[in-house]
Amino acid sequence: MEFFASKTGLAYWIYISASLILGGVILWALCVVPPKFRKPIVILVTFISGLYLSLEFLVQPPAGQEQNWFTRKWPDVSNVIIVIAAFALLIGTVNLLSIHGKALWKRRENWYNSLAFFIAFIAIMAAGFARDSYDGPVVQQTFNILFNGLFMPMQATMFSLIAFYIVSAAYRAFRIRTIESGLMMGAAAIIMLALVPVGTYITAWIPEDSMFAFLRLERIGYWILVLPNMAVQRAIAFGIAVGALATGLRIWLSLERGSFFEREL
């Protein structure tokens, strides 16, 4: 639809101004609406939003076409969601600045962590804007150092801690006290051995084409993963899917209960 197409020049600024004015008018209207009408408005907006996504899946595309009307309009709808998320990001950033600003201003305990936050926040923001605005080796390199040189390795470091945490968690938690825990340990040991060369070497002496080939560790490990493990995972997934359907239905029809969902607006 041309209305949602990208605009340039004067049309660009007219659309932005009109959107801001329209947004302000809607906010004002929501504020002056009597309280008894606010909840029905929220319920109606929730229902229409959910109805769009339901119809997008349920309505068959017309003959000869691959998509229905709802799917074709989805890029425009997702742009609206992206804009709302951008405003929410602003609110989240304000919260971050507020918390760390107070910690720094009042010199609370560990205030230097808040100082580090501000330095990092300003540095990466400045580097990002500079990279997008200017085309030079210095700004590109600065951004690369901050993002690829600092952020990515730090992320990888946190990820790599998992290896050590798995060992400490397993050492602490995996005790054979019952038959079930013994079965679990046995299955875990078989699968661990099946996935490493040393483990497959243990049963490599059994010929591949013999009638006892099923006793090879990699085959037992594969069987455990593909059959009982997959069956249980799928069973849990079925339950989750039905649970998600029920929860989604309650939220869509505004049947959810709780202090947040039932409060007066």
What is the spatial distance between Cα 57 and Cα 3, in angstroms, rounded to a whole number? 25
Among 5, 8, 57, 178, binds another protein (CB under 8 A): 57
Question: Is residue 65 close enough to count as binding another protein by CB under 8 A?
Answer: no
Residues 158-177 that bind another protein (CB under 8 A): 158-159, 161-162, 165-166, 168-170, 172-174
Residue type, 63: A
Measured CA distances, 67 to 60, 72, 78, 243 (Å):
8, 7, 16, 29
252 and 50 Cβ atoms separated by less than 8 Å: yes
Question: Is residue 93 close enough to count as binding another protein by CB under 8 A?
Answer: yes
124 and 142 Cβ atoms separated by less than 8 Å: no
Stretch that binds another protein, among 9-17, 28-36, 86-94, 198-206 (CB under 8 A): 86-94
Question: Is residue 258 close enough to count as binding another protein by CB under 8 A?
Answer: yes
Q: How many CB atoms lie within 10 A of CB 225?
A: 16
How many residues appear in the chain? 265
Question: Is residue 148 close enough to count as binding another protein by CB under 8 A?
Answer: no
Written as six digits, the tokens of 66 are 């691959």
Residues 28-47 that bind another protein (CB under 8 A): none
Interacting residues with another protein (CB under 8 A): 56-61, 66-68, 71, 74-75, 84-85, 88-93, 95-96, 98-99, 102, 109-110, 113, 154-155, 158-159, 161-162, 165-166, 168-170, 172-174, 233, 236-240, 242-251, 255-261, 263
